[in-house]
Structures are given as C-alpha cells and as structure tokens.
Chain A
Amino acid sequence: MLRKFFLTSALALAGLGLAAPVLAQDGPLRIEITDGVIEPMPFAISAFHDEGGAGELLAQVQNLIAADLTGTGLFREIPASAHIARPESFETPVAYEDWKAINAQALITGAVRVEGGKVVVKFRLFDVFSGQPLGDGMQFDAGTGNWRRAAHKAADQVYARLTGEGPYFDSRVAFVQESGPKDARRKRIGVMDYDGANIKFLTDDSTLVLKPRFSPDGSRLLYTSYASGFPTAMMMDVNSLAARPLNAQQGGMSFSPRFSPDGRWIVYSLEKNGNTDIYQMDAASGAQRPLTNAPSIETSPSFSPDGSQIVFESDRSGQPQLYVMSASGGEPKRISFGEGRYGTPVWSPRGDMIAFTRQVGAKFHIGVMRTDGSEEKMLTESFLDEGPSWAPNGRVVMFTRVTPGGNGEPRLHSVDITGRNMRPVKLNGAASDPDWGPLLP
C-alpha cells in the first residue's frame, strides 16, 4: 500500500511537478513495515501549543513523540526550520498547502497543559496530501512524573494509524544490568521503558541472576537466580519485590521459565542428573509434569500466543535445533534445518513468526522464520547476538549483542523484522537478557 503511494507520488513529482498533490491515494496514508522500508515517510510536527503551565514539558513531549517515530526507521521528521505554517492554536485549521509545499506527508499537531500535578497531551494526525484528518484527535493525561507515558501513548497512536500495526512505545522491558570483570560479572535485574528511560532495579548485584521474563500482565517476573548457590527458577512480584523459588522440590537446577499467554501455566527447564527436560507447572497450584522426556537437552520453551503450542530448542539431532510441540507435550516437529545451531526461540505475540538465535561458524545471528520453519531470514550478524524478545506488536525484537575479547561487554539492541533498522538501546552500561513486557494500559 505504502509502496504504491510512494511510487505514484514520486513519479508524479518527477514528471508533473505540482500535479503531485492532485493525485489521490487509493487508500489511507500507510507505511508497511514488512517489505523493508528504504525511504522513510516524511512527517512534520507543528510546534505544540502550551495550553497552560506546560513549561519545559512542552518541548519534551513533542521531542519524545518525534524520537519514538523516527526511532522506528519508518519516518523522517521535517525540521521546524523548514515549516511555513505557524498556526496560532491547536484549533487553527490546517493549512494543507503549506505542509504539502515542504512535502510533509503526515502532520501532527498537539498541545500540552499541566494542571493539578497532571500533564495533558492532545494531538491530531493529518494526511496532508489527501487533506484530511487521519482518525480522531485524542488526549492522554498522566501524572507529571509520568509525562513520558503520555507522549509514548500519543506516538503509539500515530504509529498505529500510519502503519496499521499495533502500538509498542508505551511498554517496559526487563533486563539484566552487568558490571565488573568478565570472569566475575555482577548482575542485577532492572526494568526500563522501551527506550532505556526510567530504570528501576529490582535486585541488588550480590546474587547472580539471569533471564527475567514478564508475566502477561507485567505484574510478575520469572527469572533464574543463584541465591541458593544453584540455578533456581524464581518468581517475583514486580511491585512488592517479594520473590520465591518456583519449584519447592529440591532437585537439579531449574531455569528458563516462561509464562503461558493466559498466565495460567509456566513452562521451564528442569535438570536431573545432568539431563535437562521441559516441565509445565500450574501457576496457581504448583502442580507440575514433564512435557519432554529425552536424554538430550530440551530448553528455552515459548508458547504460541493462543497457548496451544510450544517452540523450544533441543539437541536431540546432535546439535541444538528448534522444535514445536503441543502445549500438552507429545511428539515434537523439527522446524529448523539450516547450517549451524539454533536456540532461544520466541513465538511472536502476533503468532506469525518465531524469532531465534542462530550460530553459523563463528558468527551469531538473530533471525525470524514462519512458525513452520519456512521463510527463514537473518536480521543481524555479529560476534555474539542472542536472546531475541518481541515488542508487544510483534514487529520489532530486542536482543543482546556482546563484543569480543577480555573487555567485551553485552549491550541491548533492537531491530525490526526486516532487519533494516538496527539500533542500540540508550543505556549507560552493559546490559543483557531483555524481555519486552506488555503494552501498558
């Protein structure tokens, strides 16, 4: 859809000059992620209006909305210095010709006010070349300390309307902060906004912790801790920080826990006498049973969004590969057949793809494939990339990239499913094991 739009308008501009604006689109303004966007859509944000007490937040909100959109790689902001129209208020009718003249395809207008400890953010979105609003204007309010959430919500609306995809900016990511030398690394679990802001640490770094994973509603975290001296799958309440081992039974190590999409089940790996299999636990009662029973390593289970299937990794063929089985166990079906080793599969929340880590020779990749293993595509390549986690809309993954050598460090990066927009998450310091939580309410 987008491609068609871009082609027609580009042709028109090249051949017919001013005739371009006359060309009607055959659908709403739309940019498609899936084909790999080479040319970002130009948009403008008309200077936001202070409707009372906004102060510094006026520019901060506007800048964050712009940063969210340009950070996707799908959009390019036309700088304010190029703007012709200078509307007096949020209600001033849009001077479409002025925005067409600078080739802004989408226009965002907005206003901010602060009252009673709350920030109120209003916005409208316009399709400049068809001269129409794109959806209704909306407003969001939040405590002034949460102004970023109001801005993310507005940006999410713009993103969703222009891409047809689900929103994801207003979300949190659990991760592991790392410090200290490589042979004595200290780790603690943190939670941050998707863009690296508002970090809160949930554990101190006195105990080695690995791989946090959110519950579907974001209220709890599963992770693996060495608090007992042995790797143990734990569950933590994100608000109270109270944590307990998942498995009261003493045995081998338990790790790699993950919730089912309805929160009713937890799947995890349990090791007994050196052999690792996948187990299922009733999150309410704690009752558990094995889902695999093989002498090979079975780990990294992840549910399909409808809860009916589980993808996991197993080295039953001699090397780690990806398999899918029913959520109640049974014979798994192998879905990865490429060269090298596959691991850490995660089912997209949209259900259409599985993201994974693949090692070929000395290189690591984050890749995606259809859930039957077809259309495999590598999104990244480096010395060591691992552990993808899906954004709530299933169109972006965050992962860990480790640099080589004695001073090598992990950093978080995100990439969209076309592999075209890879960027580091803005964080001061080393971090690993991201888990992208749900879209906030």
Chain B
Amino acid sequence: MKTFVKFAAIGMLLATAACSRPAQQGPMVNDPYANMNQGVGVSALPGTAEHFKATAGDTVLFPVDQSTLTPEARTILANQAGWLNQNQGFSALIEGHADEQGTREYNLALGARRASSVQEYLISQGVGSGRLRTVSYGKERPLEICSTEECYTKNRRAVTAVSPGAGM
C-alpha cells in the first residue's frame, strides 16, 4: 500500500507537470494494476517531496524534554540541507512534536523548541531562512499511538515537510 501511494503521488506530480492547465488537475485515477506491481521497483524522482523523504530523511528524533540535536539528527539534517540547497524551488515547514507524557502547554512549547533547533541547523548549513517555517503540534499528532517508550521515542520528533515554492 505504501508503495502504491508513492507511485500514485509521483504519477500525480508528473501529470501536473505535463498538464498545460494545472488548475484542472483531476482526481486520482484508480489504477487497475495497483495490486500487480509487486516486484516492480518504484523510486521517487529527484526534485519531489518523496525524493526528499527517501534520500535525505524527513524526521529527526529527540531525547525526553530535549531539543538539542543528536549526532544522528545532525547527519540527517545535513542531508536535508544538501537537498534543499540543490532544490532551491522548495521551501520547508518544520513540525515539532512531543510524546504524550507532559502537559499540553509544555509540549506545545517543547515542540516549538525542537522545530526551531532544526530550523537553526538548516540555516547554519546554508538554507535561506526565508524558505523555512516552523509549527509545533505538541502532543496533538503522535506518529505512533502506543503508550510505551518504544512509541514515545518515535513521537519526540521534528518532521521537515518540503513543498514547491520559493519561500513565504
């Protein structure tokens, strides 16, 4: 299913690019071969959000209550910066998140701190500050829903979402 979604997303992007009037972009066509493509290699094309996610990695993780970047996070963010520097036509929204342990207010502030850490690092790697925006979701949008440390680890995160557009 994941593969299909990727495949369809690329298809839509190609269709948009080929279409002379993008405003008329229609609904996604049901692909009758959707369940037959197992074994067919599918990869995102360069210069797409999917490519960013697949090659640079869109998520960095944080320890409890922390917003400082781990060495692993710096590696991913260096890749993100490299991608953004190569794809100047994209801007990014950085979402900061927290796990459910903590009050709503504190987690909102903590998510903002995390998103800002990522933003600062990307700027330090040459990405124009006008291309980056942050938003905190606090504990409102967990990626994993279980209530164990295994899930909490994945929820304490900042996600960089790129989209076409030179900035805001």
Q: Which residues of A contact B (CB under 8 A)?
A: 181-185, 208, 210-211, 224, 229-231, 252-253, 255-256, 269, 271, 273-276, 297, 299-300, 313, 315, 319-320, 341, 343-344, 357, 359, 362, 383-384, 386-387, 402, 404-406, 408, 433
Assembled-state Cα–Cα distance A155/B115 (Å): 51
Q: Does B135 contact A (CB under 8 A)?
A: yes
Asked, given contacts A231-B136, A386-B103, whether A297 binds B145 with beta carbons under 8 Å apart, the answer is no
**A211: B residues at CB distance < 8 A:** 104-105
Q: Does B92 contact A (CB under 8 A)?
A: no
Closest to B108 in A: A255
Q: Convert B104-124 into 0s and 1s, putting 1 for each residue whose CB lies closer than 8 angstroms to a CB of A.
A: 111011101111110110000
- Are A274 and B147 neighbours in the complex by a CB distance under 8 Å? no
> Number of B interface residues, CB 8 Å?
31
CB distance from A412 to the nearest CB of B (A): 14
- What's the A-B contact tally at a CB cutoff of 8 Å? 104
Please name 6 further chain A to chain B contacts, defined as beta carbons within 8 Å, in addition to the given A181-B145, A269-B108, A384-B100, sorted by A numbering: A253-B135, A274-B134, A297-B110, A300-B103, A344-B104, A408-B145
B65, B102, B112: residue with the most chain A Cβ atoms closer than 10 Å: B112
Assembled-state Cα–Cα distance A327/B109 (Å): 22
Q: Identify whether the interface residues of B are mostly helix, strand, loop, or mixed.
A: mixed
**B115: A residues at CB distance < 8 A:** 274
Assembled-state Cα–Cα distance A116/B136 (Å): 54
Partner of A255, one of B67, B100, B105: B105
Assembled-state Cα–Cα distance A208/B139 (Å): 12
- Are B141 and A343 neighbours in the complex by a CB distance under 8 Å? no
Assembled-state Cα–Cα distance A185/B109 (Å): 20
**A320: B residues at CB distance < 8 A:** 103, 106
Partner of B146, one of A341, A362, A406: A406
Q: Does B25 contact A (CB under 8 A)?
A: no
Assembled-state Cα–Cα distance A408/B134 (Å): 28
